[in-house]
Amino acid sequence: MKQETILQNKEGPQVVRVLLEFNLPLISYPDTGVWCYIIKTGDNTVSIFDAGPKFKSLLPFRRKYSGETNNTDKIINTLDDFFPGYKVDQILCSHYHYDHAENAPDLQNRLLELHGNLAPIRLHANDLENKKAFKFMKTHVEDLFKHAEYDKWHLGNSVEDNENLGNSGFVIVHTPGHTSGAISLVNNIEKIAITGWWIEEQSSPFVKVFQSTVVDEDTKNFAATIKKIKRDDYKYYFLHPQVDKY
């Protein structure tokens, strides 16, 4: 299991990440994947940022037959290793796409069994609206959950731009582009940003053409978002490992 502490002080780890399983057609885990970030938000609380996919296949019609990931186990084991006895106060999704949000109800239900508290699943309001996957298929984050055959989940109130993440020093920043409700986490004291899609598109012409043609919802706000989030002296942590080298 690939786990990393990305921020630590004398009180111990403050931000830890674990690589969740997410496979692409030509490369597979752990060369690909989705990072789940665990951020300490209080004396005995942490927030989760991204819960990963539930199923192994990329293709919707194959997914239920492709087998399940054990992404929830990876997150629970990482909590036990780095934050034993802590409770999860919320499960944030960077955006509504399945590779970041689909496993959230499974994680929520397991945490409820283990710790006895219901950690709400939270997204930006724009990603709680009706959506068009690949720009034409009507969808909604709760359709994703229904399709994954969960029988219960709890969505919390939508996240706000500039909302504080407990006393972690991180704020939630609305970074529309890839989806209209995409969010990033920024810590202006430590000069750290946990963010994603825009740097993939800057670094790969293929990704840029593919995503802007069939995925990205809010291309008119790209430049404004990049301006909002890009600071030359900040350290960036991304949502997928393929772009970590940039």
- Enumerate binding residues for Zn ion (CB under 5 A): 97
Nearer to Zn ion, 214 or 224 (CB): 214
Q: How far is the CB of 92 from Zn ion (least distance, A)?
A: 15
Where are the strands (E) in the chain, listed by range?
Answer: 3-9, 12-20, 34-40, 45-49, 87-92, 121-122, 131-133, 137-139, 163-164, 170-174, 183-187, 192-194, 235-237
Q: Which residues contact 33 (CB under 8 A, 6 or more apart)?
A: 2, 19, 20, 21, 22, 240, 241
Q: How far is the CB of 32 from Zn ion (least distance, A)?
A: 13
Nearer to Zn ion, 41 or 180 (CB): 180
Nearer to Zn ion, 40 or 54 (CB): 54
Nearer to Zn ion, 97 or 131 (CB): 97
Q: How far is the CB of 95 from Zn ion (least distance, A)?
A: 5
Please give the Cα distance from 97 to 140 (Å, whole number).
Answer: 10
Judge whether 189 and 245 are in contact, CB under 8 Å: no
Q: How far is the CB of 91 from Zn ion (least distance, A)?
A: 17
Task: Using CB positions, name the residue nearest to Zn ion.
Answer: 97
Q: How far is the CB of 178 from Zn ion (least distance, A)?
A: 5
Nearer to Zn ion, 89 or 200 (CB): 200
CA atoms lying within 13 Å on the CB side of residue 45: 13
